[in-house]
């Protein structure tokens, strides 16, 4: 499910419940998700306080008292939900699950019981997600985090970041999906950002050697990510917030999932096209994306 905006939405939903909370018990329904759970996962968490909840790219980082960090990735279909919270307005609305992919308790894989009565449940039908637990001091060296590029939400991200592609002939689409230069983008937001920038996804990434194009694309990425976070992410099938409500940025897609529809750019009479690039669908308007 999740690109950066969806993971950030989940982080913001979990933060008020997890930050400062003490883990009473952890229950695993199976020995592995995509990868096995780390050694003594349950024992290393039980009785500990959660100090903070961060995010790097599409990874959630739970800072645990005692110097360890829990790393969680949602894969394609992972979600967290909160149970047992009495606070008004934070209860899961009964109809909410039915709107996203139907939830099945068979896919509840991890339960974190917190002191005070709340339980955080990780559900993941496809099990492409995973969790790891490691000393916080080793975090940057974790194989999954070590190669990640700049966050598009950070002040460090600019047109100059994209100049790294100046000598790359790979298509723009593939370049932006690669997490090594800019990190956090996935299939949806790459398509949307390239449409906003008016760039053809098939163009060689070396087009970004042009300062003008790099500026346009950088601000398109920045804007689409910020707007999507603001909207609580995009719900296609699985993504939901921790209270069970859905993201709504999907209603603002210009091209993603809009094959055959007229291009929304004022003055453009093109039609949204779907093609296949490196095994994934790309949506774009061939008439105004050059």
Partner DNA sequence: CGATTAACCTGGAAGC
Partner DNA sequence: TGCTTCCAGGTTAATC
Interface positions with DNA (CB under 7 A): 1-3, 6, 34, 57-58, 73, 75-77, 100-102, 104, 106-107, 125-128, 143-144, 168-171, 174, 177, 179, 186-188, 233-239, 276-281
Q: How far is the CB of 118 from DNA (least distance, A)?
A: 24
Query: For DNA, which is the closer residue by CB, 154 or 281?
Result: 281
Q: How far is the CB of 210 from DNA (least distance, A)?
A: 17
Return the bridge partners of 119, or none.
Answer: 83, 113
- CB closer to DNA, 233 vs 244: 233
Roughly what angle, to the nearest 10 degrees, separates helices 4-18 and 211-230? 40
From the CB of 21, what's the least distance to DNA, in Å?
26
Contact 220, 199 (CB under 8 A): no
CB nearer to DNA: pick between 18 and 176: 176
> Quick one: 156 or 166, whose CB is closer to DNA?
166
- Given the DSSP bridges, would you call strands 68-73 and 50-56 parallel, antiparallel or unpaired? unpaired
3-state secondary structure of 32: strand
**Number of H helices and number of E strands within the chain?**
8, 10
Quote the CA–CA distance of 26 and 29 in Å, as a whole number.
10
Minimum CB distance to DNA, residue 231 (Å):
12
Distance CA 44, CA 247 (A): 33
Q: Among residues 255, 240, 184, 148, which one has the least CA distance to residue 3? A: 184
Nearer to DNA, 234 or 289 (CB): 234
Active site residues per annotation: 2-3, 58, 280
Is 42 in a helix, a strand, or coil?
helix
DSSP-assigned letters across all residues of 38-60: PTTHHHHHTTPBEEEEEEETTEE
Minimal distance, residue 273 CB to DNA, in Å: 13
Strands 68-73 and 130-135: antiparallel
């Amino acid at each position: 499910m999740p690109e950066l905006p969806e993971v950030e939405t989940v982080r913001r939903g979990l933060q008020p419940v997890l930050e400062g909370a003490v883990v009473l018990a952890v229950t695993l329904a199976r020995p592995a998700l995509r990868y096995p759970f780390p050694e003594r996962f349950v024992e290393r968490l039980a009785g500990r306080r959660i100090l903070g909840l961060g995010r790097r790219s599409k990874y959630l980082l739970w800072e645990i008292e005692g110097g360890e960090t829990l790393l969680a990735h949602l894969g394609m279909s992972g979600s967290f939900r909160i149970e047992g919270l009495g606070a008004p307005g934070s209860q899961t609305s009964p109809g909410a699950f039915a709107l996203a992919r139907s939830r099945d308790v068979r896919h509840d894989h991890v339960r974190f019981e917190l002191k005070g009565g709340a339980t955080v449940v990780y559900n993941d039908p496809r099990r492409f997600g995973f969790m790891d637990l490691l000393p916080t001091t080793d975090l940057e060296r974790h194989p999954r985090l070590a190669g990640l590029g700049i966050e598009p939400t950070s002040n460090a991200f600019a047109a100059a970041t994209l100049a790294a592609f100046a000598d790359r002939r790979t298509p723009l689409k593939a370049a932006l999906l690669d997490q090594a230069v800019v990190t956090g983008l996935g299939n949806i937001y790459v398509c949307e950002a390239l449409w906003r920038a008016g760039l053809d996804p098939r163009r060689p990434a070396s087009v970004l050697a042009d300062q003008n194009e790099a500026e346009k694309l950088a601000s398109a990425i920045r804007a689409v990510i910020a707007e999507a976070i603001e909207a609580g992410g995009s719900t296609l099938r699985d993504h939901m917030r921790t209270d069970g409500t859905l993201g709504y940025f999907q209603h603002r897609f210009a091209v993603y999932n809009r094959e055959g529809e007229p291009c929304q750019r004022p003055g453009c009479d093109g039609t949204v096209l779907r093609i296949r690039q490196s095994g994934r669908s790309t949506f774009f308007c061939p008439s105004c994306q050059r």
